[in-house]
Homo-oligomer: A and B are copies of this chain.
Amino acid sequence: MNRKPKIVILGAGYGGMMTASKLQKANAHHDAEITLVNKHNYHYQTTWLHEPAAGTLHHDRTRMRIDSVIDTNKIHFIKDSVTEIKGEEKKVLLASGELEYDYLVIGLGSEPETFGIPGVEKNAFSIRSVNSVRLIREHIEYMFASYNNEEEKNEGYLAFIVAGAGFTGIEFVGELSERIPELCEEYDIDREKVKIYSVEAAPTALPGFDEELVNYAVNLLESRGVEFKISTPIKEVTENGVVLEDGEEINASTVVWTTGVRGNSVLEKSGFETMRGRVKVEKDLRVPGYDNVFIIGDCAIIINEEINRPYPPTAQIAMQQADTCAKNLRALLAGKEQLAAFKPDIKGTVASLGGKEAVGLVGSKKLYGTSASAMKKVIDNRYLFMLGGMPLLLKKGKFNIF
């Protein structure tokens, strides 16, 4: 009696979740024993996390139980942490057990990139998980609540530094600038006392983005009181704020670190050849040297040959990779040797700026303000529909479009 081949999917982020969902829809569980492993029993939308971090959206709106989307009678679910992948032995070590596989999909996501800057891990917050953003939200509120209880007012309590003015940094600053007036009201604090700094080492906010859109975003955020410090590398993060390259210190009890990501450290630890924690995969998303291991999402590098640079780690690409990965797994199960190549189809990029504001490029069309904001919600809703169809969209969708 032939046993069914075992497919193990590590991580229930955009890539892993969508791979599992696609396999389930294609009834691949008839031909394979499929197992999904994730640290939590829920999936969350990483690209929405700047909102619960600022407190403008409840975190439960950004997450869903895995078994509400995946039929766990068809796909086994294991709640556990991955500690190491043993590629030669076709085994995965978990915090409390191990799993054997015939085919492996690695979708373990990313970790904050600190560039080795001292104090980041100890003193800065990061927007990376439901746990981490709940902490940011509560830390911000705690600083507001503390301020009026001090005999000698500590202005650092009301100063918020967002390190990195890339996509996540700008989106978080946008939400925060919307949230601050509410917090001032709640805690009897003058708005003028509160400082929001967006600090960026590169010579522009939103590096790589269209200049007109960048200007729109910066002007809007400045009008909400955000102070930009561009071309300003950070030397160190301390308990009391940051020290800049030029020696200037900014006193702030809250530093949120958003200077980009690197691949999950499990890959490096497992002996894969990595660049900033990411593995350069073949066109069919398999790891060179392992014809049974796929890597998708933030842990995978695919080179954009037009500019000879890797595609950025985005949800859009992770989901498209999941599509290719699921197809290729089905081909392998069917005994085919010819696998499909991953072809990204970048539909556009929209950065929300809080409230009804956003900027974006869709195709070659520039969007601003409410139309960009509406498009952002369309993108968010489209993902929910792709993942869980109409029921999930109705439950978790964003419908306050105009």
Contacts and interface: CB of A to CB of B under 8 A. Distances in A.
Interface stretch (A127-135, A292-300, A386-394): A127-135
A137 interface: yes
Contacts of A270: none
Interface in A83-135: 130-132, 134-135
Contacts of A148: 131
A146 interface: yes
A97 B192 CA distance: 25
A146 B139 CA distance: 9
A135 B142 CA distance: 7
Contact of A131 (B130, B131, B149): B149
A141 interface: yes
Contacts of A139: 142, 145
Interface in A140-161: 141-142, 144-146, 148-149
Give the dominant DSSP class at A's interface.
helix
How many chain copies?
A: 2
A138 interface: yes
Nearest to A132: B149
B149 A145 contact: no
A187 interface: yes
Contacts of A130: 188
Contacts of A144: 138
Contacts of A134: 145, 186-187
A134 B144 CA distance: 9
Interface string A182-221: 0000111000000000000000000000000000000000
Contacts of A187: 134
A12 to B, nearest CB: 16
A20 to B, nearest CB: 22
Contacts of A145: 134-135, 137-139
A142 B131 contact: no
A341 to B, nearest CB: 40
A211 B144 CA distance: 42
Nearest to A148: B131
Contacts of A138: 138, 141-142, 144-146
Interface of A: 130-132, 134-135, 137-139, 141-142, 144-146, 148-149, 186-188
24 contacts: A130-B188, A131-B148, A131-B149, A131-B188, A132-B149, A134-B145, A134-B186, A134-B187, A135-B142, A135-B145, A135-B146, A135-B149, A137-B145, A138-B138, A138-B141, A138-B142, A138-B144, A138-B145, A138-B146, A139-B142, A139-B145, A141-B141, A141-B142, A142-B142
Top 10 closest pairs, chain A to chain B, by CB: A138-B145, A142-B142, A131-B148, A138-B142, A135-B145, A134-B145, A138-B141, A135-B149, A131-B149, A135-B146
